[in-house]
Structure 1
Amino acid sequence: MRRFVSERINRLLLSSCSIHSSKPTASSSSHPFFSPSAAAMSSSSAPPADVTVESINPKVVKCEYAVRGEIVSIAQRLQQELQTKPGSHPFDEILYCNIGNPQSLSQQPVTFFREVLALCDHPAILDRDQTHALFSSDSIARAWEILDQIPGRATGAYSHSQGIKGLRDAIAAGIAARDGYPSNPDDIFLTDGASPAVHMMMQLLLRSEKDGILCPMPQYPLYSASIALHGGSLVPYYLDEATGWGLETSELKKQLEDAQTKGISVRALVVINPGNPTGQVLAEENQRAIVEFCKEEGLVLLADEVYQENIYAEDKNFHSFKKIARSMEYGEKDLALVSFQSVSKGYYGECGKRGGYMEVTGFSPEVREQIYKVASVNLCSNISGQILASLVMNPPKVGDESYESYMAEKDGILQSLARRAKALEDAFNSLEGVTCNKAEGAMYLFPRLDIPQKAIEAAKAANVAPDAFYARRLLNATGIVVVPGSGFGQVPATWHIRCTILPQEEKIPAIISRFKAFHEAFMEEFRA
C-alpha cells in the first residue's frame, strides 16, 4: 500500500514538473497538453483537423443500413413539412412500414412487464398501501424478487458484465422450459438488444477480410453492416423464393466451396428464423440439415431467433436450433452455437428498452474468457433491458393474478398481427406484376415487383436501384415508407420491397387503398 501511494505521488510530481517546467523536453513540447504555447498555437496558426470521408475508417464508409437509410431521411423531411405546412402533400401523415418498431405505431406495452419495471425503478413505493390497489400482487412479488438480486437494489447500478446472475438464472430456466433441455446461466450474456451481441460475435470471429460469414440473401442488414465494420467478408447464400424462401443445404455447400476457392476462410453460418425480411419459418427437418452442415464443416452456427414468438402459420412451430441440436444428440463439444434473443420483437415490442441476450455454447473456456472480456469493456447492459429479458422468458403462469390479463394482451397482439399480415399479403398478390409469399412469422412481407423496363431505365437515369426508385415514388405519392429490397440483398435482376405488418389494424385498409392506387398509376405511367 505504501509503495502504491509513493509511486502515485511521484507520478503526480513528475506530471506537475512537466506541466510547469519553463524548459519543456522534446517529448513534452510535441504534445499540446504539455506545451505552454499550445493554446496560442491552436487558436492562431494550427490547421483544422483533416477529417474527410476519404480519411476516416473505410470500414465505416463501406457499412450500410437500409432500414434507416435514404428513404427514411426523405420521410422525416416530409413529416416536418406536413407539420409546418399542413396540406402541402397529397397525404396527411407518414405511415412508417420500414422498421420493426411496434410501439412507435401505437402498440401498447404488456401491463405486467411495465408494472414490474416501474416497481423496480422506484422501490420506495413497494411498501405503500396504495401500491397494492394499483399493481397486481404477482408484479409486486416479482419486483421484490428481482430487486433482491440487484446490487444495492438499484436499477441505476452497474451489474456483472454478463448480466445479473439471478436474471440469467431466470432466463436459463425459461430456455429449459421452452426447449426441454437444460440451459446453463453461465452461457447467457445479457446485452442491449440482439444487435450488440451480433457485433460481439463478429468481433470475435473476424480477423481480416480473408475471414467470411455465410449470410442469407435477403438478410437483415445488421449482418452485412457488422461484417463490414469488423473487416470481414460476407459470403451470401440465396434463399429460394419459389419455395417460400426455402434454405437448401446444397446452396450452402456451393457458396462455401466458392468462397474457399477465393481464399476465404468461412467461420460461421447466420440463420434467421423466423426470417427477416422474408417471414418464413423453417421446418424441423430443414433445421436438422443445417445443424448437420455446420457440424460437418466446422462452422459456428449463429441463430437469430428474435421473432420466435411471431408465428402466424397454423402448420408451423418455432424450434430453437439448440433444441434441434440436442435432439440430434449433439452436445457442447460437437457444435459451437450462439442463439440471439431480443425484447424488441415478439408480442412485447420493447425496442427502446434495449434488452436481449445471447446463449453461447460449444466454445472452449479460453474463448469464453475472451467473450467475457469483450462484454466487460462495455461494463454491462442496461438494467431495465436485463429485467425485461428475464420477464419475457418467464412471464406470468397459470394461477398468477396477472395470468389471464397477460394472456389476453399477448393473444390479442399476435392475432391482430396475423390478420394484418394476411390482409397485406392478399393485397400485394392482387396487384399487377406483384407476387408475395405468405408471412409465416416475423413482422414483414417481402413482395417481388415486376418493374416495367421504362421504370428501370428511369431509375438508371436517376442513379438509383429500380426498387429504390419505386419506394421513393410510393413515399412521395402516399406517405407510405417501405425499404427497397436492394438494401437486403436479392437475386440479381429481381426487385422487392420490405413492408412491416405493424401499422394499427384500423389503418391497414387505408394503406392498402393508397398502395393500390399508386401501383396502378405507376404501372400505367411506365407501361411499354
Structure 2
Amino acid sequence: MPYVLQRIAEFISRRDGGVTADPHKIIFNSGTQENLKLVLSLLSSGRDDLQTGVLTPVPSPHTLPRLLQYNRLSSVPYRLQQEQGWAVDVEELHRAVTDARAHCDPRALFICNPGIPTGHVQDRKSIESVIRFAAAEGLFLLVNEVYQDCVYGPGVEFLSYKKVLLEMGQEYSEHVELISFNSLSNGSLGECGLRGGYMELLNTDKVVAERLMVLMGYRSPAILPQSALEIMVNPPTPGEASYPTYTQEISLIHSNLSHNAQRGYEVMNTLKGVSCQPAMGGIFLFPRLDLPARFLEEAKTLGLQPDVLYSQMLVDKAGVCVGAGSENGSEEETCYYIRLSFAASSDTFQDALSRLCSFHHQLHETY
C-alpha cells in the first residue's frame, strides 16, 4: 500500500537524521527471507562452471546457506573475529574474496548488523571500512538490519549502513550499491506470525530495480502485516491514548533483553569448557564449547556434529532447545557452538540457564 511505503520512508528519514528516503525505492514483501530470495535470484548467473559468489559471515543466520543453495549461488565464507566480540575484519574479507575468485565470481557481500547470531553491533569506523572494501572490489552490499531497535550494550549505538554511506562523500554515496532489510518479525515487536518486511534500494541499477518490481507483481503481501509494520515504524506518540501502554511494554522488552543478555553471558562463562562473547544487540548468545574427547568420539560414531548431539541431548534431558552452531555455517574441526536465544521472560530464561548448567555439569561428569 502506498501509505505504508510512505510511512516507512518517513521512518528511515527520522532514523538517519533527515536523510531523504524514496518510497518508490522501498519494496514490501512477506518477510525478509522472501525479499532476500528475490535479490539472490537476480544475482545468480546460472553458470555451473563459474557460479556467482556471495561473501557470507561465519557464523551466519541459519537460513542463509539454504537460500544461497536454492538460488544456485556459491557461498564465500569470511570468519568473524570471535576474540573481538565477533567483529568484521576487512583483512579477512580481502582473503575471502581473493581466494574465492579461483572458483566463483564474487559479486555481493552479505552483512548482519546487529550480528545474527553473534549480537555484534558495528561502529561507524567498521561500517566505513566495509563500504570502502565493497567499493574497491565492486561488490553489491546486502545488509540485514532486522534487529536495529534491539541494541543495548553500554555506549553502543545502531548506525544504518545507508546513513554512513551517504555521509562518506560522492565517491561512495553515489556509487556503492546497497540493499538494506528490515522486518516485522524481529526486533522489539517480534510479530513472527504476521510475516512482513521491507527492503530499501540505494544506487541500484534502474534495470535491477524494475526487475524486482516486476517480480513483486506476482506477489500480494497480506494487509495485516502491512498494517502492523506501519505501526512498528510509526509508533504511538505523546498525547495519543495508547502511548503510555506502548512505551511501558517496549521499555520492558528492552530491559528484559538487556538483563538476559548480561545474565546469560555471565553464567555461560562460569561453565567448564565454555567461552562466550557479550551480545550488544539482537536476541542471541553464541557460546563456544570445548567438549570432552569421549563425547566427540560418541558423536563421530553416531555420525553427528558434536554440537548437534549436544543440542539433541540438552532438549531430551533438560527440556532446553538451542541451535547447533554447525547449522550457522560455523563448523570447525575443534570448535563447536550453540545458538542460545534470550528472548524470554527473565524467570523463564533463568530457569533455562539453570537447566543448561545442570546438564552441562552432568555431561562432563559422564564423559
Q: Does 1:201 align with 2:39?
A: yes
CA shift at 1:509, angstroms? 2.5
Q: Does 1:441 align with 2:278?
A: no
CA shift at 1:504, angstroms? 2.2
CA shift at 1:364, angstroms? 2.2
Cα deviation digits, residues 50-101 of structure 1 (max 9, x gap): xxxxxxxxxxxxxxxxxxxxxxxxxxxxxxxxxxxxxxxxxxxxxxxxxxxx
Q: Distance in 2 between matches of 1:256 and 1:410?
A: 41
Q: Distance in 1 between matches of 2:136 and 2:12?
A: 26
The 3-state SS of whatever aligns with 1:437 is coil
5+ residue gaps, structure 2, are none
Query: Is the 8 Å Cα contact of residues 332 and 363 (structure 1) preserved in structure 2?
Result: no
So what's the TM-score if we normalise by structure 1?
0.67
Give the letter aligned to residue 478 of structure 1. Answer: A
Give the letter aligned to residue 4 of structure 2. Answer: L
Aligned position for 1:215: 56
Aligned position for 1:174: 11
5+ residue gaps, structure 1, are 1-163
* Larger of the two Rg values belongs to structure: 1
Give the letter aligned to residue 278 of structure 1. Answer: T
Q: Does 1:508 align with 2:349?
A: yes
**CA RMSD across the alignment:** 1.2
Query: Is the 8 Å Cα contact of residues 332 and 361 (structure 1) preserved in structure 2?
Result: no
Cα deviation digits, residues 273-310 of structure 1 (max 9, x gap): 11111111111100010111111111110000000011
Aligned position for 2:267: 427
2:160 to 320, 342, 348: 320
Matches within 5 A, 1:417-496: 417-490=257-330, 492-493=332-333, 494-496=335-337
Aligned position for 1:329: 169
Q: Distance in 1 between matches of 2:300 and 2:140?
A: 40
Q: Does 1:374 align with 2:211?
A: no
Aligned position for 1:295: 135
Q: Distance in 2 between matches of 1:515 and 1:386?
A: 39
The 3-state SS of whatever aligns with 2:118 is coil
CA shift at 1:506, angstroms? 1.4
Residues matched between the structures, number: 361
Q: Does 1:227 align with 2:68?
A: yes
Q: Distance in 2 between matches of 1:332 and 1:430?
A: 46
CA shift at 1:491, angstroms? 5.5
Q: Distance in 1 between matches of 2:106 and 2:222?
A: 33
Query: Is the 8 Å Cα contact of residues 357 and 389 (structure 1) preserved in structure 2?
Result: no
Q: Distance in 2 between matches of 1:295 and 1:398?
A: 42
The 3-state SS of whatever aligns with 1:480 is coil
1:341 to 173, 179, 182: 182
CA shift at 1:388, angstroms? 1.7
Q: Distance in 1 between matches of 2:355 and 2:332?
A: 29
Aligned position for 2:237: 397
Query: Is the 8 Å Cα contact of residues 65 and 329 (structure 2) preserved in structure 1?
Result: no
Query: Is the 8 Å Cα contact of residues 165 and 173 (structure 2) preserved in structure 1?
Result: no
Give the letter aligned to residue 440 of structure 1. Answer: M
Matches within 5 A, 1:245-264: 245-262=86-103, 264=104
Query: Is the 8 Å Cα contact of residues 326 and 337 (structure 2) preserved in structure 1?
Result: yes
Give % identity: 32
Q: Distance in 2 between matches of 1:324 and 1:495?
A: 34
The 3-state SS of whatever aligns with 1:471 is helix
Q: Which moved more, 1:363-372 or 1:438-447?
A: 363-372
Aligned position for 1:266: 106
Q: Distance in 1 between matches of 2:106 and 2:24?
A: 27
Aligned position for 2:30: 192
Aligned position for 1:60: none
Query: Is the 8 Å Cα contact of residues 311 and 441 (structure 1) preserved in structure 2?
Result: yes
